[in-house]
Chain A
């Protein structure tokens, strides 16, 4: 799995877009980028994942640079309930491969 680098913490105002960066400069061509989040001490929750193309779902958008060395998770309209630790994971290109979680970014959304 490729190593990822995320800022330890970020702040965002409620209603504004939250842009969470992730560096994964050693990612290989067939490795995916995954984003999960963990609210308080609950189990992690899947957000989104992608390989090369940008992806969007009901929760967020994932923007991957053309060289795939970095990506950004975008929460378009952050709410207080989005306050959580966000994990960016690069690797695991086939079913059954384990995901390796780092320390993530603590996002604090305030009113």
Chain B
């Protein structure tokens, strides 16, 4: 199993550009999450999904959009990139279990907006 795979690993965007961060998991997990982490800070939840076709906002959803058309994929769309969106983005997935079970994280996508 590859686990949770994120692409790209690094990206530089100009202000106002748009892009999609890809996230794929091969563990057949129902639950998927997008977090961002600014330098020296903890992780903040952007969006999450409890299954295909169902998404919900987290703490910091403004400037982002998500979709969940399949169990495996949970892409994060950045519209009109701003310098404040410079961050490391982590995708995670989990299965049902005690509490939220164990979250499996990807390696992260490092985004710089100039």
A residues lining the B interface (CB < 8 Å): 32, 34, 36, 41-46, 49, 51, 87, 92-104
Per-position binary interface string of chain B over residues 72-114, scored 1 when its CB falls under 8 Å from any chain A CB and 0 otherwise: 0000000000000000101010111111111111111000000
Q: Given the known A-B contacts A41-B88, A41-B108, are A99 and B96 also in contact in the complex, defined by CB atoms under 8 Å?
A: no
Q: CA of A36 to CA of B4 in the docked complex: distance in angstroms?
A: 17
Find out whether the CB atom of B100 lies under 8 angstroms from the CB atom of A92: yes
Find out whether the CB atom of A95 lies under 8 angstroms from the CB atom of B58: no
Q: Which residue from B42, B58, B99 sits with its C-beta under 8 Å from A87?
A: B42
A74 to chain B, nearest CB (A): 19
Residues of B within 8 A of A49 (CB): 98-99, 102
Residues of A within 8 A of B50 (CB): 95-96
Q: Given the known A-B contacts A42-B107, A44-B43, A87-B42, are A101 and B99 also in contact in the complex, defined by CB atoms under 8 Å?
A: no
Find out whether the CB atom of A98 lies under 8 angstroms from the CB atom of B58: yes
Residues of A within 8 A of B98 (CB): 32, 49, 51
Find out whether the CB atom of A46 lies under 8 angstroms from the CB atom of B103: yes
Residues of A within 8 A of B35 (CB): 101
Report the interface size for chain B: residues with CB under 8 A from the other chain. Answer: 32
Residues of B within 8 A of A97 (CB): 99-100
Q: CA of A95 to CA of B102 in the docked complex: distance in angstroms?
A: 10
Q: Given the known A-B contacts A95-B31, A96-B31, A100-B59, are A44 and B100 also in contact in the complex, defined by CB atoms under 8 Å?
A: no
Find out whether the CB atom of B42 lies under 8 angstroms from the CB atom of A101: yes
Per-position binary interface string of chain B over residues 44-65, scored 1 when its CB falls under 8 Å from any chain A CB and 0 otherwise: 1100101000000011000000
Selected A-B contacts with CB under 8 Å, 30 pairs = A32-B99, A34-B100, A41-B108, A43-B4, A43-B90, A43-B105, A43-B106, A43-B107, A44-B43, A44-B92, A44-B105, A46-B102, A49-B102, A87-B42, A92-B100, A94-B100, A95-B50, A95-B95, A96-B50, A96-B96, A97-B99, A97-B100, A98-B45, A98-B58, A99-B103, A100-B45, A101-B42, A101-B43, A103-B42, A104-B42
